[in-house]
Structure 1
Amino acid sequence: MDFNDTNMTDLHNTTNDNGGYNPDANIHFTGASAVAIALCLFGIVGNVIVFWFLAFRIKRNKYTVYIMNLAIADFIFLLFTALIMMLYINTLIVENSNFTGRNSFYIFLEIFYDTAQYSGMFFLTAISMERCLSVMFPMWYHCNRPKNLSSIVCLVLWFVGCSESLIENLACPPEDFAAQTNVCTGVELMTFTIGVGICLPLMVLCSFALLIRVGRIFQRQYPPKLYIIIIVAVIIFILSVVPFNFIWFLMYFQLLKLDVQYVSIYYASVFSTSLNSTINPYIYFIVGRQWREKSHHSIHDALQRAFKDDEEIQDAKEKSDKTNSSSCRIKSTDEEKRVN
């Protein structure tokens, strides 16, 4: 929910009658749009790298499937955010910025923009829930989890995210949104309930459970990096995305009066949500990196360590123990031969 049609009208006013804006507002908003595009490009590079390594270079597990789809969603979101910012710059610097099919093109951009945003939120919720279930009910989870659950869940979540976006953008066109029709009110209530009423509590509860688990493990050893990645990603999502969902919801129902223009709040939300999608891949790199070791394949190694499953860690420990025990047997046999 982002008041985009209102923002386009406000931006158009900056180039015409300066209604309520500083005379240099078009320059300021153009600069803000350019900075947002640069931020999006920085995030696009990071998400492309993550997708490449997870898809083609690293052994896939149930968690990397979620992260790979999250990287795709973040990539699409940042790409279409950059395109929308380019459209805004065109509106700000070109006198006759209207062109044939402009509104249809804008709705097209919004559909992909919202689909990626909603799907990314769903993927983060899904990986939080699955990691939490594996910690709280390990035996049941290990015995009853379907092998292809991650892929099936991701397909369903893409469908749900796309459906929510289509409903929001097609059932509630800009003129109905401005008039606050019953359909648009229902759509806004639906999106707010799904995002803040369902996904947010699930993410908070699952992250809190993982945080308790990390505290217990940390007393004995360093916790798996995947725990830290999920907790940090959820915290950043809550701090950067959720507040603006509340603000737009309250402003739609005129429950919040702010002495600022809508377009200013919109740009703040663009920077905040873009930062959330941009920073995710760099969280993986930082958490997965071994700071005391230097490697020629640091990105590959960092991602491999970051998303290593508990079962893989346990298998590695068992192999290591077997290797150590066999080497000990060989040494003891050699010592016996020498004595004899």
Structure 2
Amino acid sequence: MECGPPNMTVSPTPESAGFGSDNSTKNSSSSGSLNYWVKILSLLIALLGLIGNGAVLWLLGFRSRRNHFSVYILNLAAADALFLCFSILQYIAIFSRASDLTWEILFKFRYIFYTAGLSLLVVISTERCLSALFPIWYRSRSPKHTSAAVCTGLWTLNGMFWLLGLALWYRFKQSFVTFIIILGAWLLLLTCVMGVSSLTLLLRVQCSSRHRRLPRLYLLVLLTVLVFLLCGLPWGVGDFMVLFCPELNLMRYWFCDLLACVNSSVNPLIYFFVGRLGNRRRDPLRVVLQRALGDEQELGGEITNTSSQETTH
């Protein structure tokens, strides 16, 4: 008997994950055991990542004075924390053999916060790229509360987009296939924009600072984008591969799921690593985090001076 509304999942259900049927061969038994330990590892990483992102939310939300860039990081930490939270709930649903409907709902919420995090990364990398290419225009035309307004708009659009998807899921199964195709095209577009803007940012800063160390703020952006491309992107790609290739090995899907948990968990480590870079003092985490996010004024002046010199010559 089918449980719940028409299936929109592009991920395996608890039964297909190896918790609802007996394995008849040694190969399937071995694969099921390996999948089990991959899930356990993903759950542990998600728990640690939730603690790390919670620390970032606490420090930026209540213990530090927020600047233009830290507002983006605060929202990105919130998206990562919510993704990990629903990942933990989804793994609990697997181990407790919850219904398919529970699995479906938790998976959809994970995708909401996955796309929210990707959208924030695209905005962060694009804005940093514009500030590096057109520093004078950016500093004179950028409104004071741009980051807060952009983050509010992203969360609103993301929520409305997924409310439409949930409505189609419940009412029109065929229409939801169209929604999935649109979602795939949207994720592809976001990834391309993020990749191009990050590469442009790297080339621009390297050309402007030939004999200087890469500033912390831009190093943070580039490392975060790189980690997403290596660990976060396979989850979205693997999800669509499961949709169009149902015979895909489940082990590959759960490995991508593990990488997605790593992607959302490692960002706080990047923030604190960049903040401690080149400084041997044992400063409080609040100071380290502020140092990682506080290079905006300094770098803006550096790139402006470099651009002025290039124009003069």
Is 2:195 the partner of 1:204?
Answer: yes
Shift of 1:9: 2.8
Counterpart code for 1:31: W
CA distance in 2, matches of 1:202, 1:238: 12
Deviation, structure 1 residue 77:
0.3
Q: Is the 8 A contact 1:37 1:82 kept in 2?
A: yes
Could you say what secondary structure the match of 2:214 adopts? Answer: coil
Provide the residue aligned with 1:300 in structure 2: 286
Paired with 1:106 and 1:163, the residues of 2 have a C-alpha distance of: 21
Given the alignment of the two structures, is residue 188 of structure 1 paired with residue 180 of structure 2, yes or no? yes
Question: Structure 1: which amino acid aligns with 2:152?
Answer: L
**Residue identity matched to 1:150:** S
Q: CA separation of 1:139/1:296 partners in 2, compared to 1, >3 Å: closer, same or farther? A: closer
Structure-1 residue corresponding to 2:306: none
Distance 1:310 1:296, change over 3 A: closer
Report if the CA contact (8 A) 2:49-2:264 is conserved.
yes
The structure with higher relative contact order (CA 8 Å, sep 6+) is 2
**Once the 2 structures are TM-superposed, how far is the Cα of residue 314 of structure 1 from its aligned partner?**
7.0
> Aligned pair 1:88/2:94, yes or no?
yes
Shift of 1:204: 1.0
Contact 1:30 1:89 in 2 (8 A): no
Matching of residue 53 in structure 1 with residue 44 in structure 2: no
Aligned to 1:289: 276
Residue 271 (structure 1) aligned with residue 237 (structure 2): no
1:82-121 Cα offsets, whole Å, 9 max, x none, are: 1101111122xxxxxx5xxx34433432332122111111
Name the counterpart of 1:231. 222
CA distance in 2, matches of 1:139, 1:131: 13
The residue that corresponds to 1:127 in the other structure is 124
Distance 2:61 2:82 in 1: 17
Counterpart-to-counterpart distance in 2, 1:8 and 1:268 = 16
Residue 301 to residue 24, structure 1, CA distance change in 2 (3 Å)? same
Aligned equivalent of 1:140: 137
Give the conservation status (yes or no) of the 8 Å contact 2:198–2:222.
yes
Instruction: Give the match for residue 21 of structure 2.
Output: 16
Give the conservation status (yes or no) of the 8 Å contact 2:49–2:84: yes
Are 1:71 and 2:57 an aligned pair? no
1:133 is matched by which residue type in structure 2? L
Q: Is the 8 A contact 2:216 2:275 kept in 1?
A: yes
Counting aligned pairs with the same residue, the percent is 28
Q: Could you say what secondary structure the match of 1:7 adopts?
A: coil
C-alpha contact (below 8 Å) 1:123/1:154 kept by paired residues: yes
SS in 2 for 1:187: helix
Q: What amino acid maps onto 2:291 in structure 1?
A: R
Consecutive unaligned residues of structure 1, counting only runs of 5 or more, are 92-97, 316-340
CA contact (8 A) 2:70 2:293 kept: yes
Name the residue aligned to 2:36.
30
Query: Compared with structure 1, are the counterparts of its residues 15 and 189 closer, same or farther at alpha carbon in structure 2 (3 Å cutoff)?
Result: closer
> What secondary structure is seen at the aligned counterpart in 2 of 1:23?
helix
Q: How many residues align?
A: 294
**What is the TM-score with the length of structure 2 in the denominator?**
0.84
**Map of 2:244 onto structure 1:** 253
CA distance in 2, matches of 1:111, 1:288: 34
**Contact 1:107–1:169 (CA under 8 A) maintained in structure 2:** no
Could you tell me how far apart the structure 2 residues matched to 1:73 and 1:244 are? 16
Are the aligned partners of 2:238 and 2:256 in contact in 1 as well (CA < 8 Å)? no
Map of 1:209-228 to 2, 5 A cutoff? 209-228=200-219
The question of whether the paired residues in 1 share the 8 Å contact of 2:80 and 2:113 is answered with yes
Partner amino acid, structure 1, of 2:184: F
Match of 2:148 among 151, 167, 192: 151
CA distance in 2, matches of 1:85, 1:272: 15
Q: Deviations over 1:220-252 (max 9, x none)?
A: 322321111111111111122323433433443
Structure 2, unpaired ranges of 5+: 1-7, 302-313
Q: Distance in 2 between matches of 1:22 and 1:194?
A: 36
C-alpha deviation, 1:160, in angstroms: 2.1
Larger radius of gyration: 1
Partners of 1:208 and 1:124 lie apart in 2 by: 14
**Alignment match, 1:334:** none
RMSD: 2.7
Distance in 2 of aligned mates of 1:16 and 1:313 = 58
CA deviations over 1:192-219 (Å, ceiling 9, x no partner): 11111x2111111111111112312442
CA distance in 1 between partners of 2:164 and 2:41 (Å): 31
Q: Does 2:10 match 1:3? A: yes
